[in-house]
Structure 1
Amino acid sequence: MKPVRCFIAWLIGATGLLPISGCYAPQSLRQSSSTLYTEGRIITTDSGSIRIFWPGTSIQARFEGSEVRMRLYDDAGRNHFAVIIDDTFHHSFRADKGEKEYLLASALPAGRHQVAIYKMTDWFDGESVFYGFKFPYGKPVAETRKPRYQLEFYGNSITVGAGMLTRSHPLYAGSSTNNYLSYGALTARHFNASARFIASSGIGLMVSWGSLIMPEIYDRCNPADSSSRWNFSSYQPDVVIVNLMQNDYALLQQKNNSQFIRRFGSASPAADTIVGRYAGFIAQIRAHYPDAYILCCLGSMSAVRPESPFPAYIRTAVASLNDQNIGTHFFRPVAGNEHPTPEEHEIMARELIQVLTPILSKR
């Protein structure tokens, strides 16, 4: 005879324990996937667990009850997650290496609630695997969220939200990276939009501080796996925001850098080559998203200062594409030479919201 245990509700993606009241005999029953909402490029395994890679990836559920827990595996112990309860930031935590159960919230008022976990850190901080939410004193209910718009961001550390927090900043919680407070995430929440962040600190379009450039990973689901291809038809954004070339600008001034030598040899690429490479990448984005508006951005660091030729390169590249649904925006540069702070990300978000409002009003 199977032992009878008191009720604990587990919620996972496609398969798992079916919530019931009272007590149950343990068994594996199929559960509706309508109880979870996910954002980001993820891989759902045959067992229903969800593999998490990119910054800004989130998993959300609605439930009745006063407490929610989660089971998560992290392969490096460097990832940080935000916990969102009822659309409000609750706290953040660093995932321990290995598999562990985490208490996300307790002593909540009676009634229905919403919980979400949100990856704040870079993809190279490691892969995580979500095994399920757990509701010890309640049950999941159907997830009905329908974002008004769909956005997708391609970018570097600025878009990731890296380097925004120093140890002395009141919002610092163990990591200087916080995608949840990035200009893109703030913009998405303003518009009640879903958002996907195909972003990596240090990356460029032609040359990066690391070994990969954006054209080599933009079409991956798992950025660490060259065979992991993303199905672009599964998510067709209303607007694609591309904010690249800051690292290209910086590295083109460092001819002794190993990645400069690897990509270019001893000579910097000519201006028409830079323009052509940028236009070619935007053309690739257009091929995947024929109906999207593409906004080619730059900033808010040194690449948008007066001495930089890169805004002109981008304008020329966009003009060469002769596409009325591709535009440009250049963020105002930050005051110093560091990454934008949370306050400067808010300024960037206000700029982007102003640009996107008339574009999205036509969608």
Structure 2
Amino acid sequence: MTGKVSRKLATGLLAAVVAAGGITAVSATTATSAEPPATLAGEPTDPNIRFTGRWDTSDPGAYTPYWAGAYLSVGFTGTTVTLQQRDTIDLYASVDGGPMVLFDDVSGEVNVTPEPLAAGEHTLVVSYRVVAGSYTGDAVFQGLSLDEGAETYPMPEREHLIEFVGDSITVGTTTSANHLTAYPWLIGEQLGAEHTAIAQGGACLVAADCVGLEQQFAKLNPNAPEPDWDFSRYQADAVVINLGTNDIGHDVSGEQFQAAYTNLLRTVRASYPDAWIFAMRTFRERYVAETQAAVDTVIGEGDDRVSFVDTTGWLGESDLSDAVHPNDQGHRTITEHLAPIIAERL
């Protein structure tokens, strides 16, 4: 990396407005022995770099997001910026608020500014394709490289954070750019809020023989029983739950579902005491009465910041890519309906 200073990253946010359809493909000093080594700008521990969502930061040289919708953001000076990736991954990067550009099957040093920028201050937002199902990319961020003498600086924080909980619909499966063209990302950007998703394709509410979010909601990794997620790392202002589409295929009874949904609502409330919780009617009309009953139960227990979202009639045939998953248009349709409901409470 001749002529460059190695740089890596540290804690969560965003600042690029991503337009749907705007996606293009592109196939220090040494510390003394008495002092801890200084953090270099661009290292994963650089406090100017923010990580939104659930990132595994246990390895200070390699940060990993396990859930959909996580991203990093940072300001930087100079004319170029290069990501340091461990192994092959699909990633999206936006420079200076421009469209998210797809870098497909990249690894090692990934130059996200192939055309050098004008000297000055710039911004960068990076999101990885969610690693799940048949996709086995390596979403491990190991840092940034900038021009010699360049610096990082923090992006301005957004006032609110919205967390979306769900399955492949929430992930954005079958859309043109996966999560970047799904309603959680679109709503967050439209409302100018930070946003992340605790979602995985095929997820259920009840842990039958699938990922059960009644339990995994509180975990760092959807596919591991430990460790628990540290909810002190961020607090959501709104939580949107869209679960129940997959449970019916795992022989979950209505009684089981209602009890699990009630328990999840209690867990979300304990995790985010001040958040407004939205429980969505599934678009496939599954466990609707049970979802409504779970909401009524916690309201009856004194929780006055939770509501049932009736999605009846939101999606038509032209909004779907198959019998289950919304297409790009469908996710925009969901955004049109759901964003004002969330905005009213925020």
Q: TM-score, normalised by structure 1?
A: 0.77
1:211 counterpart = 2:220: no
Q: Is 2:154 aligned against 1:146?
A: no
List 4+ stretches of structure 1 deviating above 4 A.
none
Residue 274 of structure 1: CA displacement?
2.6
Q: In the aligned structure 2, how far is the partner of 1:227 from the partner of 1:90?
A: 33
Relative to structure 1, is the Cα distance of residues 9 and 218 closer, same or farther in structure 2, using a 3 angstrom cutoff?
same
Local SS of the residue matching 1:353: helix
Q: Is the 8 A contact 1:148 1:191 kept in 2?
A: no
The reply to whether residue 357 of structure 1 matches residue 340 of structure 2 is: no
Picking from 285, 296, 305, the partner of 1:325 is 305
| Unmatched segments (≥5 aa) in structure 2 | 11-27, 30-36
Percent identity over the alignment? 23
Aligned residues, how many? Answer: 306
* Change in 2 beyond 3 A, CA 1:224/1:140: farther
Q: How does 1:46-85 map to 2 (within 5 A)?
A: 46-74=59-87, 77=88, 79-85=89-95
Question: Any conservation in 1 of the 2:184–2:196 contact (CA below 8 Å)?
Answer: no
Aligned-residue offset at 1:72: 0.7
Aligned mate of 1:157, from 161, 168, 192: 168
What aligned pairs does 1:283-302 form with structure 2 within 5 A after superposition? Answer: 283-300=266-283, 302=284
Code of the aligned partner of 1:333: L
User: 1:317-359: CA deviations, max 9, x gaps?
Assistant: 1111122210011332341514111111111112111101210
Partner-residue secondary structure (3-state), 2:156: coil
Structure 2 CA distance for partners of 1:101 and 1:355, relative to 1, 3 Å: same
> Aligned in 2, Cα 1:339/1:45: closer, same or farther, shift over 3 Å?
same
Q: Output the amino acid matched with 2:145.
A: K
For residue 350 of structure 1, give the secondary structure of its aligned residue in structure 2: helix
Tell me what 1:24 maps to: none
In the alignment, residue 296 of structure 2 is paired with which amino acid?
A: A
Map 1:238-257 → 2, pairs under 5 A: 238-249=237-248, 251=249
Contact 1:334 1:340 in 2 (8 A): no
Going from structure 1 to structure 2, the CA distance change for 1:157 and 1:351 (only over 3 Å counts) comes to same
Pairwise CA RMSD: 2.3
For residues 335 and 175 of structure 2, what CA distance do their matches in structure 1 show? 14
Deviation at 1:238, TM superposition (A): 0.6
Q: For 2:280 and 2:201, how far apart are their aligned partners in 1?
A: 16
The letter for the 2-side match of 1:38 is F
* Higher CA-based Rg: 1
2:325 alignment partner, SS class: coil
Counting only pairs closer than 5 Å after superposition, residues 328-347 of structure 1 correspond to structure 2 as 328-331=308-311, 332-335=314-317, 336=320, 337-347=323-333
Question: For the structure 1 residues 217 and 95, does the alpha-carbon distance in structure 2 shift closer, same or farther, using more than 3 Å as the test?
Answer: farther
2:305 counterpart letter in structure 1: N
